[in-house]
Structure 1
């Protein structure tokens, strides 16, 4: 599956945020600051998950329907369940 450059860019930003949090922890920064940054990382990851699912949903449904004959409704429910699990 091909992922858009925007999605890859988001993940690189998340990677940078995580490195920043690790640096904060290594430098003994205040707990509140660390938790705030971790919350920002979690939000960024949640949004990226939604983006990946929404960008690829149509393609995945079409491909799965063509290859194994699964119904679109079943595939959409599966995608929604992936989103719910990520929370």
Structure 2
């Protein structure tokens, strides 16, 4: 599966957030502000995981359908990926 640009863009935004948090720490910013930003990064990563799994699931189900095969195994694998990421 070729990863779409919007997936990469999501991760680049997260990367920028992490760099910002490091800068905040280097500037001895308030702990509450750092934690707030860390929580935002975690939420962004969780949303990205969900998006990647959903797009991969969509792609795999289409491939299975084209082959005339059941998508049940692909769906079960996607569910395991989502549960594992929690």
Please classify the TM superposition score into its range, dividing by the shorter chain length: 0.7 to 0.9
CA–CA distance in 2 between the matches of 1:11 and 1:78? 23
1:7-59: CA deviations, max 9, x gaps? 11111000000000011111111111001000000000000111111111132
Partner Cα separation in structure 2 for residue 48 and residue 16 of structure 1: 15
TM-score by length of 2: 0.84
Partner of 2:77: 78
Q: TM-score, normalised by structure 1?
A: 0.83
Structure 2: any 5+ residue segments left out of the alignment?
Answer: none
Distance 1:60 1:26 in 2: 44
d(CA) in 1 for partners of 2:27 and 2:15?
A: 18
Aligned length: 86
